[in-house]
Each structure stands twice: as structure tokens, then as C-alpha cells.
Amino acid sequence: MTADLSPSVLEPSKGTATDYATVSAYVLLHKPDEIRILGKDPVIGSTIFDMVSSGSEFRVSIPPKKRFIIGSNTAPPTSGNKLENLRPEALLASLLVRPPDPAEDWALLENDTERAVYILLIVRHDNSEPALAREIYFDGHTLDISRQKTFGVDGAIISDTRYSDWKVFDGVPFPCSIDIQRPKDNYEVQLSLVTMRINPPDVTEDKFVLKQPPDFQLRELK
């Protein structure tokens, strides 16, 4: 897909948000857990960042700073720049709304007639105390997904994503407006879809390989 990404950094203690310039992005998704996001300057077309996640590891190339980052998707955020703590896996979790896993999840349905919404509650019960993992909201009139909330083991909200303006691409419905909020990470990303292709033949496995340029400084996060 091609999309416009508009990031914001939140300052909860001050009740303020700092909006950053919109970035033109190319996004590749491959089930179950591969994603690549290439951010381009919308004016001159130069690469601002290139992020890849496959399984448990992510890699980020930042050409303007000649910096290359390798780390675990579970690595704690350590940068003072909130946007540098953005993980490609965080976007993957919002872009692909996964169904419940019968082996690990219980699914409960709430019919909220006052708000005309169905809420699918997904409770994780794998080898631990049952805990709410996700809430998926469906519009009561169209049955389109309108929102997804994910929770940590402590019950705190990890992400809160809202979906709207659903359209059909190659026979597959997909939202053209996605608002991703990460309250624990203090950032927000608004994604406006421009174009999308489903199962294009040119999206091959090598597209999800990102190598470190020889003159880039390496940083590892664990």
C-alpha cells in the first residue's frame, strides 16, 4: 500500500501534542508477521526511514542520521525521541486485525444497543490467569470494524486504533483512515491510505530483508 503517515508526540503531563510533518509511505504486509515500512520525504523523495519486522526482530535504517537499529520487538523504549521508539510491529498489530486463536483465546460478544456497536472481547487464557487481551468494535449498522484496543497483562491499554472510510481493494474491504494511538509510548500515528494491491506478484520474501549499509552506525536493542 501507499499511504500518508502523520505522526504526533504526546505530552500527557502538559496535555499537549506535537504534530510532525506528514510522510509518504510504502507499506508491505505479509501474513502472519512480516511488515516493511519505507518513509519518504513528500517533497524531495529522499528516504527518511526504512523499517522491517519479521517475527520477533525488527530492523530500522535512518539514512539522514546514518544510523541502523536492530532489536527485539519486546525491547523497552529507550530513546528520548518518542518517534524513534516506534516499532514496525506496533503498526502491524493495528493494520492487521487478527481473529481470536481458539487454542489461546476465549471470545465473548457484547451487544451495546445504546451505541449501536458490537464489541468482541478476546480473553487470553494460555498457561496463565485469564486476562483481557483485545476489544474489537463493529459498527452495528454496517458491521465494519471501527475500533480495536489491545491490553497488556496489567490491564493497561497498549494501543487504541480507530478505523473508518472502508473501501474495497481487489475484492478485499480495508479502511482508508486508520488512527493509531499508543498511550504508553506517548505517540500517535494517523494513516491515510492512498492505494493498495492485494497479493501482488512483486512482493516477494526478499522485500522483507533489510541490510545494514557499511557506513551506518549500528545500535542494538535487547
Give the tens place of pLDDT for each residue, 24-61: 999 999 988 899 999 998 888 899 999 999 878 899 99
Nearest to 25 by CA among 16, 36, 11, 14: 36
Give the whole-angstrom CA distance, residue 52 versus residue 61: 9
The residue-averaged pLDDT of 180-196 equals: 92
Give the whole-angstrom CA distance, residue 100 versus residue 126: 12
The 8 Å CB, 24+ separation contacts for 55-59 are 58/87, 58/88, 58/89, 59/210, 59/212
**What's the start-to-end Cα distance of the chain, in Å?**
30
Whole-Å CA distances, 156 to 25, 127, 149, 163: 30, 20, 10, 21
Q: In the predicted model, is pLDDT for residue 174 greater than 90?
A: yes
Partnered with residue 136 across adjacent β-strands are: 120, 148
Question: What CATH number is given for 2-221 in this structure?
Answer: 2.50.20.10
Residues 180 and 94 sit within 8 Å (Cβ to Cβ): yes
Confidence label for 75 from pLDDT (cuts 50, 70 and 90): confident
Q: Quick one: what percent of the chain has pLDDT higher than 70?
A: 93
pLDDT tens column, 142-162:
999 999 999 998 899 999 999
Confidence label for 72 from pLDDT (cuts 50, 70 and 90): confident
Give the whole-angstrom CA distance, residue 187 versus residue 184: 8
* Spans of all domains in the chain: 2-221
- So what's the pLDDT on residue 207? 93
- So what's the pLDDT on residue 116? 95
Give the three-class secondary structure for 185. Answer: coil
How many other CB atoms sit within 10 Å of the CB of residue 125? 13
Cell of 156: 493497561
